[in-house]
């Protein structure tokens, strides 16, 4: 297939990212299970999840500027080596405190990996191929979720935490080997000639979002969608166990099958849907998630058959990938390369903050308003996010199409000067 994978550098980055994400999923699955098994406390498990989000928020200023200032390939190498080193204490110490420290350190290092990788993608494939490239990356993420999650649980159950650590380090070593060789001339890091102070550089990245009209609705959608996803993390367990009367195994099944829909959507983005405008992917994907969520949350009055919900959750995985790929591609297309790292790290930080806020807010409100109202509110947030993006995109297209009439001095000039539909749909940079 000619496209992003036709660029050797991206192909190598793609495979390296698979090993890195597989390693991450191994720990994400194994460590919370290990904590619950050793402490018997759900609070300990919840704390480990929060510790996996908090460093992304706190370290966003540093991570984004690092991704813009230094060679992004070497940043990813250094992060992977660091992750392998900080996990080694788990070979001899497995208490809750040690696990908390390791998870926080892993998350802090990952905060630098993600902006560097995402900022490197358009350098390797070009802006015109970022949607297809992000689709391929989402395929990676979903396969890594299946493979790494299963392997982490299997190794933990069969041989204990030490086997998980060994497999984790081996996967990271493969990623580092793939990243050691330079990608070529396209990977040149567009750092500033005179480095800015760290705080000023990060604030410039924040202002970048406010400066671009195209990024404002995307930012609103990111906030709403991440809060909705944070609500889901809490409400999903309550819904499956209490409303559907399912088991822990049923909850694991429904979370896992989402990867199947995600794989399908990722392959579509890499092939037949690669030219669709990123904002269209984001807007329609968010609307689809809102509609599907509303159907799922209100279907219990009709049926509680787990098989029906397995099909619906499989379907939800597809628009979830469209939303993620769309918002990422839009940022990659609009932001100058020299600022991409800090802006992307800000987006990732907002997502982590929204997840935490949504989860904490839901935990506080469930005793007051009940889960049913919160489930419908969660679906409504996705619908609102999709409408904001699509309305803003439609308004901006109309404004751009009418601009030639002002320049040409008359109605006829305006009609003749309108761009071809294909160019407008591609989302020209303004």
Mean pLDDT of the chain: 77
* 351, pLDDT greater than 50: yes
Confidence of residue 287 (pLDDT cuts 50, 70, 90): very high
Give the mean pLDDT of 304-330. 87
What pLDDT is stored for residue 135 in this prediction?
77
pLDDT-wise least confident of 236-240, 252-256, 359-363: 252-256
Region for residue 370 given its phi and psi (left: phi exceeds 0; alpha: psi -120 to 50; beta: otherwise): left
Domains of the chain are 1-179 (1.20.1250.20), 213-334+370-430 (1.20.1250)
What pLDDT is stored for residue 285 in this prediction?
92
Higher pLDDT, 360 or 229: 229
pLDDT-wise least confident of 10-14, 73-77, 93-97, 316-320: 93-97
What pLDDT is stored for residue 137 in this prediction?
83
What pLDDT is stored for residue 382 in this prediction?
95
Taken in order 92, 42, 82, 10, is the CA torsion positive or negative? Answer: positive
What pLDDT is stored for residue 401 in this prediction?
45
Give the mean pLDDT of 258-287. 80
Residue among 242, 240, 262, 243 nearest 252 (CA): 240
On whether the pTM is more than 0.95, the answer is: no
3-state helix, strand, coil in the chain (%, to 5): 85, 0, 15
* 298, pLDDT greater than 90: yes
What pLDDT is stored for residue 426 in this prediction?
34
Confidence of residue 80 (pLDDT cuts 50, 70, 90): very high
Give the mean pLDDT of 174-200. 67
Q: Using a pLDDT cut of 90, give the percent of the chain over it.
A: 17
* CA 153, chain centre distance (Å): 23
What pLDDT is stored for residue 97 in this prediction?
78
Confidence of residue 52 (pLDDT cuts 50, 70, 90): low
Region for residue 299 given its phi and psi (left: phi exceeds 0; alpha: psi -120 to 50; beta: otherwise): alpha
What pLDDT is stored for residue 113 in this prediction?
83
If you write DSSP's letter for every residue of 311-370 in order, what string do you get? Answer: HHHHHHHHHHHHHHHHHHHHHHHHS-GGGHHHHHHHHHHHHHHHHHHHHHHHHHHHHHH-
Higher pLDDT, 426 or 301: 301
User: Rounded to an integer, what distance in angstroms lies between the CA atom of residue 293 and that of residue 296?
Assistant: 5
């Amino acid at each position: 297939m000619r496209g992003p994978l036709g660029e050797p550098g991206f192909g190598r980055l793609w495979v390296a990212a698979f090993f890195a994400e597989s390693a991450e999923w191994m720990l994400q699955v194994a460590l919370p299970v290990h904590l619950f098994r050793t402490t018997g406390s759900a609070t300990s498990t919840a704390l480990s999840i929060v510790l996996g989000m908090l460093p992304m928020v706190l370290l966003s200023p540093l991570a984004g500027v690092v991704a813009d200032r230094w060679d992004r390939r070497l940043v990813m190498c250094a992060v992977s080596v660091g992750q392998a080193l900080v996990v080694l204490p788990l070979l001899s110490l497995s208490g809750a405190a040690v696990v908390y420290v390791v998870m926080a350190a892993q998350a802090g290092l990952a905060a630098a990996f993600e902006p560097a990788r995402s900022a490197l993608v358009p350098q390797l494939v070009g802006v015109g191929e970022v949607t297809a490239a992000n689709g391929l990356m989402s395929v990676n993420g979903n396969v890594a979720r299946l493979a790494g999650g299963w392997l982490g649980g299997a190794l933990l159950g069969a041989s204990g935490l030490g086997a998980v650590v060994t497999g984790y380090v081996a996967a990271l070593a493969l990623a580092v080997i793939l990243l050691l060789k330079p990608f070529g001339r396209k990977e040149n890091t567009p750092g500033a000639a005179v480095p800015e102070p760290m705080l000023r550089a990060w604030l410039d990245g924040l202002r970048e979002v406010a400066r671009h009209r195209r990024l404002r609705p995307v930012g609103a959608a990111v906030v709403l969608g991440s809060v909705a996803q944070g609500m889901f993390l809490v409400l999903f367990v309550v819904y499956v166990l209490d409303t559907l009367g399912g088991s822990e195994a049923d909850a694991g099944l429904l979370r896992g099958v989402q990867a199947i829909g995600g794989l399908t959507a990722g392959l579509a983005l890499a092939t037949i849907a690669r030219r669709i405008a990123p904002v269209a992917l984001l807007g329609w994907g968010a609307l689809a998630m809102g509609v599907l969520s509303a159907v799922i949350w209100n279907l219990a009055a009709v049926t509680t058959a787990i098989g029906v919900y397995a099909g619906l959750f499989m379907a939800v995985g597809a628009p979830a990938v469209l939303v993620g790929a769309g918002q990422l591609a839009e940022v990659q297309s609009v932001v100058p390369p020299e600022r991409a790292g800090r802006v992307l790290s800000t987006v990732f930080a907002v997502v982590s903050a929204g997840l935490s806020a949504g989860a904490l807010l839901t935990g506080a409100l469930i005793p007051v308003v009940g889960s049913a109202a919160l489930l419908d509110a969660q679906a409504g947030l996705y619908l609102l996010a999709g409408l904001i993006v699509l309305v803003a995109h439609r308004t901006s297209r109309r404004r751009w199409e009418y601009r030639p009439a002002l320049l040409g001095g008359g109605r006829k000039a305006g009609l003749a000067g309108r761009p071809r539909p294909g160019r407008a749909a591609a989302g020209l940079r303004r």
